[in-house]
Amino acid sequence: MFDIPLIRAVIDDNVKQRVMDVLDSGFLTEGPVTRELEERMAAYVGARHALAATSCTTGLELGLRALGVGPGHEVVVPAYTYPATAAAARIVGARPVIVDVDPETMLMDMDALEAALSPATRAVIPVSLFGNPVDHARLDALKERHGFAVVEDAACTLGAQYAGARVGARADVTVFSLHPRKFITSGEGGIVTTESDALADAMRSYKHFGMRCEDGQLDSLEFVGPGTNYKLSNVLAAIALGQMDRVDELLAERLALAATYRELLAGIPAGADIRLPRTTPGGVHSYQTFCVLLANRDAVRERMRARGVEAQIGSYDIAAQPAFQGRDCTIVGDCRNAARAAAQCLALPLFHGMTRAQQQRVVEELLAAAQA
């Protein structure tokens, strides 16, 4: 146990009561509570449709399948991300094409993306990492020119904005995570959003064993294609729904905590070599993760954890992972920026109810470890 944890899920009396209501109802599988969560999520991000799934990973798979991505196709993904981003492309039979990231934002390098496009490119999965939205203006221009689909991995980005609108309605498909490290969580789960009626019906059909789905309505008497069970139960949906009752308050608190970190870190001596990633121009970061970059990250992380502060790595350089070095993947270039991010990015504790004194201690321990 840590004195200061990385994150704490918000499980208040309202969340507990919503779960108890589901348990008392006896209707435990996906049903009206899940529908309510989907409706609330769609309204919150400003999308026409939202579908609950078992995880962000299965949500990415749903999006790719609905778009017809499969064998013979290429899907471009950034090198600095959780392995699930590239794994989703591989699951549907497509070839992941891994490109480097921008050194300042750690998001997909748009020049590297454009250089990697080929006649086989069917989709791109940009990652709005840690709550930082992708550069949709540049991405949309490339999409218009080259004709690929966009499935945004917005696992950490609920509540973030780009050009004055919340992330969730601009890509062909956007997928959010409800993992416990997210400030809206169901324990495990994901939310898929889209503006397309056809894509929504295709995804809803696939996650319900291939049932016919028209205009959002499932026909349980007719199965029209392959499918599986990616349903999110009423029990899990109730947890996230209870947190959605406070989503604006919780997001505002995260932004305030991030502002305090920026204030405290502004006083750190330049010689400590602790840097902050850049937010996408035109974007509003939701700070699912507050991270810093420093050269001796691993030693700092171990010292902080030994002193009761749960610092953690940011994400992974998937180009360096054995799983993506086979013949069914393409790695473009040396992905040096992703390697640097994987070695230097450190996630700091940020949770609801965190005090200024706790943040001051985190920064003090960070500075002491960095200078040790």
1-372, CATH topology level = Aspartate Aminotransferase; domain 2 (3.40.640)
Strands 330-331 and 173-177: unpaired
Whether residue 138 is predicted with pLDDT greater than 80 in this model: the reply is yes
Average pLDDT (315-331) is: 94
Q: Write down the pLDDT at residue 364.
A: 96
Strands 330-331 and 95-99: parallel
Reported confidence tier of residue 267, pLDDT bands at 50, 70, 90:
confident
Q: Write down the pLDDT at residue 33.
A: 98
Query: Per residue in 231-252, pLDDT tens?
Result: 999 999 999 999 999 999 999 9
Q: Write down the pLDDT at residue 326.
A: 84
Query: Per residue in 280-299, pLDDT tens?
Result: 999 999 999 999 999 999 99
pTM, two decimals, is 0.97
Query: Per residue in 80-137, pLDDT tens?
Result: 999 999 999 999 999 999 999 999 999 999 999 999 999 999 999 999 999 999 999 9
Reported confidence tier of residue 153, pLDDT bands at 50, 70, 90:
very high
Of 272, 279, 299, 239, give the one whose Cα is nearest residue 363. Answer: 272
Q: Write down the pLDDT at residue 273.
A: 86
Average pLDDT (308-335) is: 96
CB atoms within 10 A of CB 79: 33
Q: Write down the pLDDT at residue 269.
A: 78
Q: Write down the pLDDT at residue 193.
A: 98
Whether residue 202 is predicted with pLDDT greater than 90 in this model: the reply is yes
Q: Contact, 342 vs 277, CB < 8 A?
A: no
Q: Write down the pLDDT at residue 264.
A: 96
Say how far apart CA 369 and CA 98 lie, in whole Å: 34
**Percentage with pLDDT > 90 across the chain:** 96
Whether residue 332 is predicted with pLDDT greater than 90 in this model: the reply is yes
Q: Write down the pLDDT at residue 124.
A: 98
Average pLDDT in the chain: 97
Whether residue 272 is predicted with pLDDT greater than 90 in this model: the reply is no
Average pLDDT (169-194) is: 97
Q: Write down the pLDDT at residue 151.
A: 98
Average pLDDT (15-37) is: 97
Say how far apart CA 367 and CA 274 lie, in whole Å: 8
| Sheet strand arrangement including 290-293 | 290-293, 345-348, 312-313
Average pLDDT (196-224) is: 96
Reported confidence tier of residue 1, pLDDT bands at 50, 70, 90:
confident
**Percentage with pLDDT > 70 across the chain:** 100
Whether residue 270 is predicted with pLDDT greater than 80 in this model: the reply is no
Q: Contact, 150 vs 127, CB < 8 A?
A: no
Whether residue 209 is predicted with pLDDT greater than 80 in this model: the reply is yes
